[in-house]
Structure 1
């Protein structure tokens, strides 16, 4: 199991942006696909307090439920580049 988990919805361009950065940095990560319906996104809501995606957690650095693709990409670049 990887330290980083990405919560995403297939086809989401913001999720793809984060996935691309994770791949570019050659980081190991797990993916959790969330349901299309916001009502059914209980796991991502528990982690981040909201139902939007993308969201990442990074156990190695104490990051729980970071959202907003630009913030996530910036965090990944600052932490892992």
Structure 2
């Protein structure tokens, strides 16, 4: 089952970096939205999730927060 995934992040966030490094190590290409450079991404994160917290993985439009939870999801549903 293919899900639409988007990772909302900030380049300076250590928890975001943890998720991006995991994705890189496992050759995962997921669209990234930098909330510091893209005001629309920041607004969407606030509107959908109710808070501006990163990292946040949108899974078919549903937010998943916390780097460890995101990595667990990716390892279970995306990793080959």
TM-score (norm 1): 0.75
Gaps of 5+ in 2: none
1:14 alignment counterpart: 15
Could you list the per-position Cα deviations for residues 7-27 of structure 1 after superposition, in whole angstroms to 9, with x for gaps in the alignment? 111111000011111222212
Q: Where has structure 1 moved over 6 Å in runs of 4 or more? A: none
Q: Distance in 2 between matches of 1:80 and 1:32?
A: 19
Distance 1:35 1:79 in 2: 28
Distance 1:77 1:44 in 2: 23
Question: TM-score, structure 2 length as denominator?
Answer: 0.76
SS in 2 for 1:65: strand
Question: What is the RMSD of the two structures over their aligned residues, measured on CA atoms?
Answer: 2.1
Match of residue 68, structure 1, among 66, 69, 76: 66
Q: Which residue is equivalent to 1:27?
A: 28
Number of residue-to-residue matches in the alignment = 73
